[in-house]
Amino acid sequence: MRSLQADCFTQTLRNADCRNFAQLSFSAIFPDTSHRDLRDPAVRDGLSKDYMASIEGRGPRQVIKALGYSAQGLRAAFRFESSFRLEVYLLLVLAPLALYLGADAVERVLLLGSLLLVLAVELLNGAVEAIVDKTTPEYHELAGRSKDMGSAAVFLCMVNVVATWSLILLPRYLGYS
């Protein structure tokens, strides 16, 4: 299945005089940037100077704004993602157990870190699913595949939790260490 962008590019090639193919191909793919200077590496590589990294200093105000955006993301995930809510509830139960059962700081970090990794990957999975749902409301094989891969990543993190907790706690309580 051809994309609309590829069809527009092909149509532009049919209708154009191809003396300056580089300029033609760039303007056909990125029509809104045809007025920009192609000698500028940021423009030539398809990047807009508007989206380049900011050169402004980072101070406490920007850090506080970033924390606010992170809190918004956590609230949205908790509100709209039932699996994220379930994993937060499991964290609330298992985090005190991890602090209590861990023999030293390394064990506590591993037990807690494996739980937090599940939440982080679940946030990424939710973000991927939201973008896929927004961009492709009808079923598409690639959309389904990307959602399945995100789900598989969360599953692997949960396997990591079980493996980490088992390898740390089972030998101690079964008398192997």
Each domain of the chain, given as residue ranges in start order, spans 4-51, 77-174
Q: Compute how many other C-beta atoms are within 10 angstroms of the C-beta atom of residue 34.
A: 13
Q: Do 111 and 101 touch, CB atoms closer than 8 A?
A: yes
More confident residue, 85 or 137: 85
DSSP 8-state code for residue 45: T
Structure tokens of 15?
């209708």
Residue in 81, 122, 138, 141 annotated catalytic: 122
Question: What amino acid is encoded at 175 in this protein?
Answer: G
- Checking 166-169 for CB contacts under 8 A at 24+ apart, the result is 168/102, 168/107, 168/110, 168/111, 169/101
pLDDT tens digits, 123-152? 999 999 999 999 988 889 999 999 999 999
> CA 29, CA 3: separation in Å to the nearest integer?
12
pLDDT tens digits, 10-53? 555 455 444 444 444 444 444 554 455 555 555 555 555 555 55
> CA 71, CA 79: separation in Å to the nearest integer?
12
Is 141 among the residues known to form the active site? Answer: no
Domain 77-174 architecture: Orthogonal Bundle (1.10)
Ranking 5-19, 71-85, 108-122, 151-165 by mean pLDDT, the lowest is 5-19
